[in-house]
């Protein structure tokens, strides 16, 4: 009795294992970077304190070395399996008996076969960034068909695996990774010019956290940190010592789980427009809100909660006292005077949109017969996309607080705010699965963006001459 061997199923299983290995190897390499970062941090701390490692530190470091070496061996094993699979997957010589081909149709069959091969090669090697798909909507429709019990898997979904699209079969957690070009188009909108994150000091990392040195000594400090001296001829040069502090910033996880109905899937262009617009819009606001209002717990630490924020007092010199829900020219001047001078070239105003009527009616001298406007709104196509106030752009943001309360207007230099993202596509990971809401005929799109952030400055600074503190972030106190 002959035993039937389901070779296609076996080969499919091997392919899935190797495709998944591609993701696993990347994760293991991330682990190596994380282990190394922890090792360097332990050693750097001991070096900074000019001492040997403690017993606990030695144990921790040895454990990290062991984990590092074990992970390296695991990567080598998986890379060897992957390499063997790729060698076996190379094209094999034709084994079909020439007599099996009908001589009368041989030319037609040859042309058809050549056309199919060219189409397959086109899908596999052309436009790899999109996985051979013309649009995001076409990709989603192919996933829907492949996920159904009676549907067939589009070869483009697996043609470029594991380098572009990884298939995880049809298990409860299975699905398809969205091709990189479609992920990138979403990421470009999240990081667009109108987004606050695009104006920050951006760094990328392969690990989940970064420890970095900070030098917060002001240029006019004559006691701490690096010093400069006027020296006479033939005199020995005076020495000084750097004064650094260290701070750790961790990546936070911003997620979106988006259901897409069968009705929407029936119109691929509509789906393409929907996903490329809605997800970046939501992520952009969430990041902007975190940069402004974040608590630092499970999300970036925002400007409003930072220790370096200066709150400029309302104008108490006028009579009667400054009214609620108003902004005066004296408020603007006061905020400008508290912004550290070198921050002014990069500074922007971030305001609640309800403030605009106050800006349009603001004058240098409200009591003068001929009033000179303070706020200059954008003019014409050739003008700036933003109005300007004291020469700096005014950006409207829903992350700002209600008019009249603290946080309704900011003057900030966002280059003094550090944002950290994961390497590779800006840290955005996108997957799609049919199985989460299978009984609803609904696809589930999952978006995960790893981002962390916090101000560079730990506190305000005192000027060399003067009593008012200065900062890179200034807001206006409540008017009530």
**Cα–Cα distance for residue pair 156/132, rounded to 1 Å:** 6
How high is the pLDDT of residue 47?
79
Q: Are 204 and 421 in contact (CB under 8 A)?
A: yes
Identify the CA nearest to 157 among candidates 184, 182, 183, 175: 175
Residue 219 is given by DSSP the state T
DSSP H or E run through 201: strand 201-205
How high is the pLDDT of residue 286?
92
Candidate ranges 175-179, 294-298, 319-323; pick with highest mean pLDDT: 294-298
Average pLDDT over residues 358-386: 67
Beta strands in 315-423 (DSSP E): 348-351, 375-376, 387-389, 392-396, 409-412, 417-422
Task: Pick 359 or 437 by higher pLDDT.
Answer: 359
**Cα–Cα distance for residue pair 348/199, rounded to 1 Å:** 10
**Cα–Cα distance for residue pair 388/105, rounded to 1 Å:** 75
Neighbours of 70 (CB within 10 A): 12
**Cα–Cα distance for residue pair 412/345, rounded to 1 Å:** 11
How high is the pLDDT of residue 135?
67
**Cα–Cα distance for residue pair 157/167, rounded to 1 Å:** 7
Q: Are 203 and 210 in contact (CB under 8 A)?
A: yes
User: Which residue's structure tokens are 């004291």?
Assistant: 390
How high is the pLDDT of residue 140?
66
What are the structure tokens assigned to 323, written together? Answer: 């009214």
Neighbours of 462 (CB within 10 A): 14
State pLDDT tens for residues 120-131.
Answer: 444 444 455 666
Burial class (CB in 10 A: 0-12, 13-18, 19+), 29: middle
The pTM of this model reads 0.61
pLDDT averaged over the chain? 75
φ/ψ of 288, rounded to 5, equals -60, -45
Which strands make up the sheet holding 375-376, listed edge to edge? Answer: 309-312, 473-476, 409-412, 348-351, 392-396, 387-389, 375-376
Average pLDDT over residues 6-34: 59
How high is the pLDDT of residue 126?
46
Q: Give the torsion sign (CA, 464, 465, 468, 473).
A: negative
Give the pairing of strands 428-437 and 473-476.
Answer: unpaired
Average pLDDT over residues 27-47: 79
State pLDDT tens for residues 204-214.
Answer: 887 788 887 77
Q: Are 154 and 160 in contact (CB under 8 A)?
A: no
**Cα–Cα distance for residue pair 413/199, rounded to 1 Å:** 9
Give Cα 325 distance to the centre of its chain. Answer: 35
Structure confidence at residue 408 as a pLDDT band (50, 70, 90): very high
Q: Are 408 and 352 in contact (CB under 8 A)?
A: yes
Structure confidence at residue 438 as a pLDDT band (50, 70, 90): low
The radius of gyration computed from the CA coordinates of the chain, to the nearest angstrom, equals 30
What are the structure tokens assigned to 269, written together? Answer: 């262009």
At residue 329, the 3 state secondary structure works out as helix
Task: Pick 187 or 54 by higher pLDDT.
Answer: 54
Q: Are 195 and 287 in contact (CB under 8 A)?
A: yes
Beta strands in 54-185 (DSSP E): 176-177
- Helices 136-147 & 180-190 angle (0-180, nearest 10): 130
**Cα–Cα distance for residue pair 410/412, rounded to 1 Å:** 6
Least confident range from 25-34, 306-315, 407-416: namely: 25-34
Q: Are 103 and 112 in contact (CB under 8 A)?
A: no
Neighbours of 354 (CB within 10 A): 14
| Cα–Cα distances in angstroms (integers) from residue 77 to residues 22, 24, 35, 66, 70, in the given order | 12, 12, 19, 17, 11
Per-residue pLDDT at 475 exceeds 90: yes
| Cα–Cα distances in angstroms (integers) from residue 372 to residues 156, 394, 408, in the given order | 64, 19, 24
């Amino acid at each position: 009795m002959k035993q039937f061997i389901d070779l296609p199923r076996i080969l499919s299983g091997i392919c899935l294992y190797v495709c998944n290995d591609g993701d696993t190897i990347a994760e293991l390499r991330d682990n190596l970077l994380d282990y190394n970062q922890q090792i360097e941090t332990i050693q750097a701390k001991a070096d900074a304190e000019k001492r040997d490692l403690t017993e606990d530190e030695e144990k921790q470091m040895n454990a990290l070395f062991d984990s590092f070496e074990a992970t390296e061996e695991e990567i080598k094993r998986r890379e060897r399996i992957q390499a063997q699979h790729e060698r076996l997957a190379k094209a094999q010589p034709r084994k079909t008996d020439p007599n099996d081909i009908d001589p009368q149709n041989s030319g037609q069959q040859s042309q058809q076969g050549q056309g199919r091969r060219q189409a397959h090669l086109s899908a596999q090697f052309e436009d790899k960034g999109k996985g051979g798909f013309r649009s995001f909507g076409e990709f989603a429709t192919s996933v829907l068909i492949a996920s159904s019990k009676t549907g067939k898997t589009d070869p483009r979904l697996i043609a470029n695996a594991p380098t572009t699209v990884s298939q995880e079969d049809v298990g409860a957690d299975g699905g398809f990774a969205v091709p990189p070009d479609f992920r990138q188009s979403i990421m470009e909108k999240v990081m667009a010019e109108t987004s606050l994150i695009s104006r920050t000091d951006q760094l990328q990392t392969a690990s989940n956290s970064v420890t970095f040195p900070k030098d917060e000594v002001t240029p006019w400090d004559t006691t701490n940190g690096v010093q400069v001296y006027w020296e006479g001829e033939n005199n020995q040069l005076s020495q000084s010592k750097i004064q650094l502090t260290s701070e750790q910033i961790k990546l936070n996880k911003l997620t979106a789980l988006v259901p897409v109905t069968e009705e929407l899937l029936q119109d691929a262009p509509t789906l393409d427009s929907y996903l490329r617009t809605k997800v970046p819009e939501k992520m952009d606001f969430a990041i902007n809100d975190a940069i402004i209002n974040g608590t630092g717990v499970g999300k970036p630490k925002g400007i409003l909660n930072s220790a370096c924020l200066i709150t400029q007092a309302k104008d108490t010199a006028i009579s009667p006292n400054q009214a609620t829900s108003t902004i005066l020219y004296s408020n603007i001047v006061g905020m400008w005077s508290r912004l550290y001078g070198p921050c002014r070239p990069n500074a922007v105003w971030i305001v609640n949109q309800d403030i605009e009527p106050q800006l349009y009616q603001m004058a240098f001298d409200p009591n003068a017969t001929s009033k000179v406007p303070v706020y200059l709104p954008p003019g014409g196509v050739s003008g700036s996309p933003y109005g300007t106030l004291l020469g700096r752009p005014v950006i409207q943001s829903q992350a700002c607080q209600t008019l009249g309360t603290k946080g309704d207007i900011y003057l900030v230099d966002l280059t003094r705010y550090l944002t950290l993202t994961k390497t590779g596509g800006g840290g955005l990971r996108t997957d799609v699965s049919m199985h989460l809401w299978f009984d609803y005929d609904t696809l589930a799109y999952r978006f995960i963006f790893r981002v962390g952030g916090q101000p560079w400055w730990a506190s305000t600074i005192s000027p060399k001459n003067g009593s008012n503190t200065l900062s890179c972030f200034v807001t206006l106190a409540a008017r009530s």
